[in-house]
Amino acid sequence: MSANAQAVRGTWAAVGTFVLWGVAPLYWHLLKAVPSLQIVLHRVVWSALLVGAFLVWRDGRHWLRDVLAGQARLRWMLLLSGVLIAGNWGLYIWAVNAGHVVETALGYFINPLLNVVIGVLFLRERLRPLQWVSVAIALGGVLWLTVQYGRFPWIALTLAASFGLYGVLRKLAHVDSVTGLGVESAYLLLPVLGVLLWSEWNGTGGFLPLPGRPSYGPGLDALLVLSGLVTALPLIGFAYAVRRISLTSVGVLQYIAPTLQFLIGVFVFAEPFDRTRLVGFACIWLALAVFVIDGLLHGRRQRAQALAELA
């Protein structure tokens, strides 16, 4: 497959991933009666079982041994990426339930900028002039939102940094997207399953209908099981995308997710939104528009050059 075809597939995978992440608050809102830690534990367990079952079917029951055999560097990279993404989930769900929704949204607006900076500084990716303009506009919007927030946004910066580092590790890890997620999940499965079973036994869970223990009920239980699919699909898409397109492109396309979250927050959950915040959001949307226009123009120039070379 040509590099251009790979880039197109990677771009569509990124778009689909960020749309899924953007509408995810609608799903997690259905689970608001479940404690944050329990949601994170179930996300890990069910996504691990789902991805593991698929890999056993596709690659055989020794898939994990085959992938990691003689790959010490890959083992450590995927262990670290698994810990980073689990920590990101935990902080995000805790922050939402603790009333820090605005700061979590700010974190996911900062994260794409961090991806761009990492791509330029450490992966030697280069920006075209219009891309620099896009980054500058987006940076202005994020700085405006940060100043208006009124205090050091440690939750936002931790979310941005953890997911930014996760993206770099998955880009450098030479393993396909589903297998990489399977290895990450395998590392986390046993300790997380142990904590989950301990919480059920001690009455702090609610998934199993044990005598004398509180129970979430079949509806919430089903949503917790399906959280594995909701978790796995966008992570697979993200890992697929970062292996095929630059972190710069991923960074700006990633604004799709917080923008959709913003629309859901304002129009579905009726969260407040004033003119001050509108200025910052408008800058970010303008930056995304500039980046997309630059990408379309660059693609058109490349196609014209290819046709000229064939003539």
pTM score? 0.78
Structure tokens at 162: 């953890």
Structure tokens at 17: 């991933």
Q: Please say if the pLDDT value at position 202 is more than 90.
A: no
Asked if 184 contacts 85 with a C-beta cutoff of 8 angstroms, the reply is: yes
Give the number of other CB atoms < 10 A from CB of residue 228: 20
pLDDT per residue over 114-128, tens digit each? 777 777 777 777 888
| Average pLDDT value for the chain | 84
Asked if 229 contacts 24 with a C-beta cutoff of 8 angstroms, the reply is: no
Q: Please say if the pLDDT value at position 238 is more than 90.
A: no
Q: Please say if the pLDDT value at position 164 is more than 80.
A: yes
pLDDT at 41: 92
Asked if 168 contacts 118 with a C-beta cutoff of 8 angstroms, the reply is: yes
Q: How far apart are CA 250 and CA 166, in angstroms?
A: 13
Between residues 189 and 176, the one the model is more confident about = 189
Q: Please say if the pLDDT value at position 311 is more than 70.
A: no
- Range scoring the smallest mean pLDDT among 191-195, 280-284, 294-298: 294-298
Question: Predicted confidence band at 1 (pLDDT cuts at 50, 70, 90)?
Answer: low
pLDDT at 198: 92
Average pLDDT over residues 136-143: 85
pLDDT at 129: 87
User: Most confidently modeled of 78-87, 132-141, 145-154?
Assistant: 78-87
pLDDT at 111: 78
pLDDT at 79: 93
pLDDT at 254: 79
pLDDT per residue over 63-98, tens digit each? 988 888 878 888 999 999 999 988 998 898 888 777
- 39, 206, 212 from 202: Cα distances, Å: 17, 10, 11
Q: How far apart are CA 126 and CA 139, in angstroms?
A: 17
The share of the chain scoring above pLDDT 90, in percent, equals: 19
Burial 53-72 (b: 16+ CB within 10 A, else e): ebbeeeeeeebbeebeeebe
Nearest to 132 by CA among 144, 119, 143: 119
| 258: Cβ contacts below 8 Å, ≥ 6 apart | 22, 105, 108, 109
pLDDT at 6: 81
Question: Predicted confidence band at 56 (pLDDT cuts at 50, 70, 90)?
Answer: very high
Q: Please say if the pLDDT value at position 39 is more than 70.
A: yes
Give the number of other CB atoms < 10 A from CB of residue 29: 12
